[in-house]
Amino acid sequence: MKKYIYFASAIALLTTACNTDDVITEELEDHYRAKTEASVAVQTKVFEYTPAPGQFINETKTGGFDGTQTTPESAIAYATKRMEDELFVSLGGFGGYIVVGFDHSIDNTGGYDFGVKGNSFSGSSEPGIVWVMQDKNGNGMPDETWYELAGSETGKPETIQNYSVTYYRPTEPQKPVQWTDSEGNSGEIDYLKAYHRQDYYYPLWIKEDSYTLTGTCLKARNYDASGKGTYWVNAEYDWGYADNFSSTDRLTNDSNANADTNANHFKISDAIDAQGNSVNLKYIDFIKVQVGVNTKSGWLGEVSTEVFGFFDYSMK
C-alpha cells in the first residue's frame, strides 16, 4: 500500500508541477557532488574507526598510539593522521572496520573506480571486505544503506553472511581477548608478549565490557607451511578484497618482495544488496573496509586487515 501511495503521489506531483523537468532532475541526481578544481583524490574524512581487538590496537610503537585515544573522536583523529602520513591503520581481528568519505562523489565508470592501499605481499594477505554507500539524503553522514562489493568468494557455500563476533574486555592487563561468535564458536585474540606489550589489545575508547561486530566472513586460507609453527602463510584470494595480494585487482604482477604499500582496486558496479542481487549505483560517497576473516597464524597473531588510505582512481 505504501508503494502504491508513493507512486501515485509522484505522478500527481509530476503532472501538477510548474517545472516537471526540475522534479525529474532532482530525483535522478539525488545529492551527487561533482568534482571541482579544488577536489582531492584521497579520503578527506574518517567517520568511524572501530577495530576489533588486536596486537596493534593501543600499541605505542609501530601502532602509533600514544595512550590518549580514549574516546571515539580521538580514535578517529588517530586514524585520520595515520593515513595523512601514509602509515597503516590496523583493523584488528574479524569485523573491525573504518569508514571514510571524500570531498566529492566517486562515479561508477563501469571499470575500476577507487583504490584501497594495504601492505599485502606474497604469502601475506589479510582480506578486508569493502562496502560502499550513497549519501542519498544529502546530510553528509554515512547513515544509509551499505552495499557490499562482491569478490571472488561471494556466493560460495563457505562464505558466511551476517556473521557476528562478540569480544570481551579482559579483566586484567596483558591477557588475551576472549570472543564468541554467531556460529556457537569461541576463541581468543592471543596476547603476544614477545612483540606487543601494551596492557590491553581491547580498544581503550570502547567503554562497554563487550561489543559485537557483524559482517561477511570468508573461509580462512592461512596455514603453517613449516608444520612446526615457525612459518605461516596467509594465502591470497583471487580478487575483490583490500590488503589482499591479488594478481587481478592490484593491477600489477610484481612480487612486492619489499612489502611496500600497494593498492587493490574496486568497481562500484560490483555492489550487491543483502540478498546478493546486483545494485546499480551511479556513484558512491562513503567507503567502509572491514576485516573479513576470523583466524590467527600462530606467533604472527590474528589476521588483521591494514589500510593506508583510499583514493578516487579516476583522479590518480
pLDDT digits (tens, 9 = 90+) for 48-104: 999 999 999 999 999 999 999 999 999 999 999 999 999 999 999 999 999 999 999
Q: What are the two backbone dihedrals, phi and then psi, of residue 203, each rounded to the nearest 5 degrees?
A: -55, 130
Q: Extract the runs of DSSP E, i.e. beta strands, from 108-193.
A: 114-118, 128-133, 147-149, 160-168, 177-181, 186-189
Residues 160 and 22 in one domain: no
Residues 107 and 251 in one domain: yes
pLDDT, residue 257, reads 87
The three grid cell numbers given for residue 257, joined into one nine-digit string:
618482495
Q: Could you list the residue range(s) of the whole structural domain that residue 13 is in? A: 1-30
The three grid cell numbers given for residue 212, joined into one nine-digit string:
559485537
Number of domains in the chain: 2
The three grid cell numbers given for residue 281, joined into one nine-digit string:
549505483
Region 2-22: what's the mean pLDDT?
A: 36
**Cα distances (angstroms) measured from residue 183 to each of 78, 140, 188, 218, 294:** 33, 36, 15, 14, 12
CA angle 250, 255, 256 (to 5 degrees): 75
Distance CA 218, CA 292 (A): 6
Number of H helices, E strands in the chain: 3, 17
Give the distance from CA 154 to its chain's centroid. Answer: 16
Contact 299, 229 (CB under 8 A): yes
pLDDT, residue 25, reads 32
Residues 20 and 84 in one domain: no
Region 20-32: what's the mean pLDDT?
A: 49
Contact 152, 237 (CB under 8 A): yes
Residues 24 and 111 in one domain: no
- Residue 138 backbone class (left: φ over 0; alpha: ψ -120 to 50; beta: rest): left
Q: Which residues of 197-208 are buried (b: 16+ CB within 10 A; e: fewer)?
A: ebebbbbbbbee
Contact 188, 179 (CB under 8 A): yes
Q: What are the two backbone dihedrals, phi and then psi, of residue 306, each rounded to the nearest 5 degrees?
A: -115, 140
Residues 17 and 138 in one domain: no
Residue pointed to by grid coordinates 596467509: 234
Distance CA 266, CA 149 (A): 8
Please give the model's pTM, rounded to 2 decimal places: 0.91
Residues 127 and 192 in one domain: yes
Residues 4 and 126 in one domain: no
pLDDT, residue 29, reads 61
Residues 7 and 153 in one domain: no
Check pLDDT > 70 for residue 28. no
The three grid cell numbers given for residue 136, joined into one nine-digit string:
542519498
Residues 190 and 265 in one domain: yes
Check pLDDT > 60 for residue 240. yes
> In the predicted model, what is the mean pLDDT of the chain?
92
Residues 132 and 91 in one domain: yes
Residues 3 and 117 in one domain: no
The pLDDT > 70 percentage for the chain reads: 91
Residues 250-304 have pLDDT tens digits of 999 998 988 999 999 999 999 999 999 999 999 999 999 999 999 999 999 999 9
Q: How many CA atoms lie within 13 A of 158 on its CB side?
A: 9
Residues 244 and 127 in one domain: yes
N- to C-terminal Cα separation, the chain: 47
